[in-house]
Structure formats: structure tokens, C-alpha cells
Amino acid sequence: MNSNKIETGAIICLESLLWECAHIDHSISRNDRGLSWDGFIYLYSSKNQKKENLVHKCEIQVKGKEKLGKSRSYSVSIADLNNYKNNGGVIFFVIDIETKKVFYAELLPTKIGHILKKKLKKKPQKTINIKLEEFPKNPFVIENLVDQFCKDRDKQWASKGKIISLQDEVLKLNGDSCLQGKLNLIKEKNSIYLSDKSTYLYKHNKDGSILPLDLVKIEKIKKTEKLDVFVDKKLWKNISVESVVTQKNEQPYLLLNDNIYIYYNEAVKEPLRFILRGKVSNLKVSGELMNLINQGCEIKLGSWGTFKMCPDVEQKINFNGFYNELMALVNVLEYFGLSDIVSYEQLTEDDINVLLWMSDRVGNLNNLTKEDITEVTLDFYQFNSFKAVILIIKDCMQNTWVFNPFSLPLGISNNDNLIYPFFILLGETELEFASNLNYESMLECITTYTFKTGCSEEITEFILRALLVVDRTKNEHLLKVVICLAKRLYEFEKTIINLINYLQCIRREREVTQEEADSILNLFEENKDKNLMFECAIALILKDKYKYHRWYKQLDSKDKKVFDSYPIKYLENLL
């Protein structure tokens, strides 16, 4: 068959598809020997194809081939590709005369830039094989294809195929992002996938201009929102839900609260998976939701959709055993104030065994009298990656009970007549490294604590220990506790030592006021003991470095050693 017949046959095949489109007209030259283009497709906004209704004029090139074969590609000259790249692009048609099928390639500037950049790296060549796709037959699809091609052409025309590649592996597309791109989705049965077609990536600038960047393949779409969850039509909780759409060779899924995977690909054998990970407090919520799903409840995820699982009896029994053990673990960590701190990944098998043992022994002081108690220990227990302060009580029946000391208002010191908050007994190590210190509980105890004669020594020692920890760790929460305790102790017993300790706490947060300075100077003058260490401490509190160095030099070596061991020495750094 001669070339004229092939070309004429090709144009007739293409025209037969275009004639079916109510909003399309066309103009195609037969036996054309012109440069790079053969004609145009005109897209109108109305079936009334008047010139005032013209939306787009689209350049096309039409080629015919007796038999295209399985390769579905066509050799295009580099010269033609450069012409298309520099002039907005072309829809390149190739018609298989034998099958009368129409194939095409959307050759836009950015795509051509990719093709030339990739192919010309190898060796100089005059032509490049372009991959083709079968042209749709549905008139509505054809009109949309032409419309989208022309919109992309208008955005890319000025770029002349220049590629601006982004280094980020994760792109935030559409929505509030300045990066915009069309997502190509395909539906198969009840599953939605990303097509393997690449998408054009654009940057929308604040001035309204659009910059074409690249042609990229989107392999995964991820969307995360906080949704109201309804269980059997009743509002349950608001949780994070993530929807992930992937290409067909992967598995699209929903992820509920970072722990529950629901795979909605029908080929998946296990559509529901529960993953133990993340903060224990979050795991508790996920466990509760998984239990509701396992019971066959109807779950509605905001406006995203509704589902209901129907597990068999064996699955229910297996999950119930797992759920009871998980909740025992979660509840004991919650009781000790660790659920927002500890992640499940941090727990070793030994940690889990100890915590489960403790979960059976969480005590209730209301069930214990003083006569029942035979031994009390404030233990600092080392888990794999965290430490916790635990109160252990043994009773006369040889039972061992564990308590969170911060949930108990008071404890008993070495002196049976004096009662202190339990945290007064904590040492530097516990104050620095314990993960379950409850500062709010400490402050509450301080405000409600009744000070009695004889309590000052133990409380003062705690204040000094705590300040040493504050200076090492810059723990602001602990500092607030110490300031509050030192202030209350001074209000109870207005001694020079108590005021020095209170004001040295204040100095770690701010400078003292004139009123506070007058108070300490007046109290020192009234004090009969003119101790040089008091002079040094007051000078540090008042930021008087000249007096401080003067008094410090007058200390003997023994007093210097004692003074240097006190946390007041830290204030040297603030002079």
C-alpha cells in the first residue's frame, strides 16, 4: 500500500472518532508535506460550534502504519520533537491500518524535555521511539482528553521543556500546597488504585503565575484527617484516620489511630491487622476500637465510610485473650503515669512480664490498716529503657502490693510523729532519671501539706538535692516544685536559711525584687549568727560579685569545701 493511501486511511480512521464528539471540530490536511504538524482539533464550549464558543485549538500530527505490531511505538525525528517542545506540544496520532485502531502520544514540552534528556545521554541520534497508547472511543473521554491537553499546553508553553527536578521523596500535592498535580485513579471491582501514568507537576506562585516543574510518577497517595468515629450510630471518639492509595501491585489501606490496618483490596487474605506500636496511651484507644470491631459493631469513620467485620468464634476467642492481656499492660502503665511517655517498642519481654505481674498487685490503701503493713519500700525500678518510682508494701499475710507514690497524698518519714509528702524521700537519682515523676501531684501535695515543728531539716535536704538536679538538667517543672516548697517552708518558719533557699530558687528563674532583697538583708542583720557562708550566699543572690569574692576569700578551706558542695554555688554562673 502506497504512502498516500496509508495516510488517507489513517485520517479517515481518526475523523470517524472525532465526528462522534459534539463539541469537537477538526481540520486535517491530506498528503501534507508541511513542517511537523498536519492540522488542528477545535474544542467548543457548546454544540453550537460558533467562533465565540471556541475554547481550545489543539495542534495534531497524524501518521499511518500498515501494521503497528505489539511494540506500540513510533519513531519521531529529533527535529520534530524540538519543534513541538518549543511551540507548546502536539497530540501525535498513529493509526494501525490493518486493525483500524487509533493510537496517540501527548507530546507536551515537559514530557519531550524528559524524553530528550534521557535518550540523548546515550549517543547522538536523529530519531527517538515514542511509546503510544490506544486512543479512547468514548466522545466524552475524547473531549476531556483534548481539554486537559490544552490546559497543560498553556501552562508549559513558555518553559520550552525545561525540567526542574525536586529532591524531596515525599511531595505534598494539591490542597494548601503550592505544588499541584492531577492524580490518575483507576477503579477495579471494589478497589481504587493509582494508574501508572505520570502526572505533570506545577508550582502555583503567590502572584498567580504557574511554573511547570517536572513529569513525575505518583506511587502513593496519603491523606490523614482527624475523624469522629461512630460505633453502632453513637459517637465514640475522635481519632486519626489515614487513607493510602497505591499502585495495583501494592495494597491500598486505611490506617486507624496508627495501629489498625484495614486493607480494601479484595485479594488480601487478612483484611484486618492490629500492629503493636506507638505510645501506650494511643495503643489503649486502638485496642478498645479493635475490640469493638471484633465484636461485630458497625463502625462509621466520619464522612469517609462505614464498615462492619464478621469474625468467626475462634477469632473472637483468640482476640479476647490478647485484648485482656494488652489492657492489663496498658492500665498498669497508665496507673504509674507512664502511658504517655512509654512506647510499646521500648518494652522488652522481661518488661512486659514484670508489668503484668504488677498489674495483679496494684493495691488499695483503703483495704490496709497500719497494723496490716509489715514493710514499706520506695523502689526505683529499672526497666529496659526507662525508670520508675514504685512504692512496695508487704502485709502480714505475706502479700506484696505496688502503689504509685504520686497517687498517695502523704508518706511517713523516719520520725513516726512527722508526716511528709512521699516525694520528699526521693534522692537525686530518682529526681533526675525517673520517668513517672508527677509534678502536678507534687505541687498539689505542697499546697495542702500541713507543716509541723521539726519538719524543716528533711524538707531542706530535699530542696538542696532537687536544686542540684535542676542545675544539671534545667528541669523547669522540678524548679517550680522546689520554689513552691521553699516558699511554703519559709512562710512556716522565717529563718535566714529558709529565706536563702527560697531566694536561691527564685534566682534560677528571675532576679530578686527590691522587696525580696530588703527582706534578706534585714533578716541577716537581725540574725545573731554572722556566718561568712551566709554573707557569700546573700551576695550571690543579690548579684554583688565584689562582696561575694571578698567574703569567699575569707572562708577557710574546710568552709570553702562545704560551701562549694551546696547548690548556691551555681549562682556564681549568673553573676
Instruction: Check: CB of residue 471 under 8 Å from CB of residue 490.
Output: no
At residue 138, the pLDDT reads 94
Nearest-angstrom CA–CA distance, 98 and 101:
8
At residue 194, the pLDDT reads 73
Percent of the chain as helix, strand, coil, to the nearest 5: 40, 25, 35
Bridge partners of residue 401, in order along the sequence: 393
At residue 122, the pLDDT reads 61
At residue 504, the pLDDT reads 97
| Per-block mean pLDDT, blocks of 10 residues, the chain (575 long) | 84 94 92 79 94 94 88 91 94 94 95 83 80 94 94 92 78 75 71 76 87 84 89 95 78 87 69 90 95 91 85 76 93 95 95 95 80 87 94 90 83 59 90 95 90 89 97 96 97 95 96 94 84 93 94 93 95 91
Nearest-angstrom CA–CA distance, 187 and 398:
66
At residue 173, the pLDDT reads 72
At residue 426, the pLDDT reads 92
Q: How distant, in Å, are the alpha carbons of 7, 34, 439, 465, 506 from that of 477?
A: 83, 81, 6, 15, 14
How many C-beta atoms lie closer than 10 Å to residue 424's C-beta? Answer: 22
Q: Any residues with CB less than 8 A from the CB of 114 and at least 6 apart, and which?
A: 163, 215
